[in-house]
Amino acid sequence: MKIEIKISPENLNLPKEIQDGIPVDQMQDACPIATQDAEVNEENKRVAIAEHQYGAPVNPEEVCGVCSSFNISPEIQDCMQDDSGEVGYCQSLKFMCSAANSCSIFAPGGPMTGMDD
Ligand code: SF4
């Protein structure tokens, strides 16, 4: 049996922020909140730029559009009201990113289309 003890500061609702070490999407009407709230999206984008060098790709083959975090499933496209494929929801950094951009935590294997992942 594995017993896990978590110590967290008072007033921090840890389960809301983190679940088993994986950042959880804050949802609004079944959509990630960043797809519904422009301010949240902008803040998360700001963090992506400041901490993960989000922007024009260094390597043109390592772009958001083929990153494993780039979600363009039909459900997410409905949330974003954009089915162009040029915009996706970044599951790692929690904002709507451009298929042509990239960041320092790019990982191959995407996009997520909801068809085979
Ligand atoms: S993690 Fe992937 S999808 Fe998200 S911003 Fe970085 S390269 Fe783009």
Residue-wise pLDDT for 24-42, tens only, equals 678 877 899 999 999 999 9
pLDDT at residue number 11: 52
The 10 Å Cβ neighbour count of residue 75 is 12
Q: Is the pLDDT of residue 80 over 50?
A: yes
Q: Is residue 116 part of a domain?
A: no
Q: Is residue 34 part of a domain?
A: yes
Compute the distance between CA of residue 111 and CA of residue 64 in angstroms, rounded to an integer: 8
Q: Is the pLDDT of residue 10 over 80?
A: no
Query: Tell me, what DSSP letter sits at residue 40?
Result: H
50 neighbors 86 (Cβ within 8 angstroms):
no
Phi, psi of 81 (to 5 degrees): 55, 45
Q: Is residue 17 part of a domain?
A: no
Structure-derived torsion over alpha carbons of residues 32, 37, 77, 27, reported in degrees to the nearest 10? 20
18-22, 79-83, 88-92, 93-97: least confidently modelled range = 18-22
pLDDT at residue number 30: 87
Domain that holds residue 92: 26-98
Q: Is the pLDDT of residue 9 over 90?
A: no
Which among 3, 80, 83 is positioned nearest to 37, based on CA atoms?
80
- Which atom of ligand 1 approaches the CA of 91 most closely? 4
List the residue whose alpha carbon is closest to atom 6 of ligand 1.
Answer: 103
Q: Is residue 113 part of a domain?
A: no
39 neighbors 60 (Cβ within 8 angstroms):
no
- Pocket of ligand 1, candidates 70, 101, 104: which has the most ligand atoms within 8 Å of its Cβ, to mutate? 70
Give how many domains the chain has, as a whole number. Answer: 1
The rounded Å distance from CA 82 to ligand 1 centre is: 18
Q: Is residue 110 part of a domain?
A: no
The H or E element spanning position 77 is helix 74-80
Residue whose entry in the numeric block shows the structure tokens 């935590």: 105
- Verdict on whether the full-model pTM lies above 0.75: yes
Does 101 or 20 have the greater pLDDT score?
Answer: 101
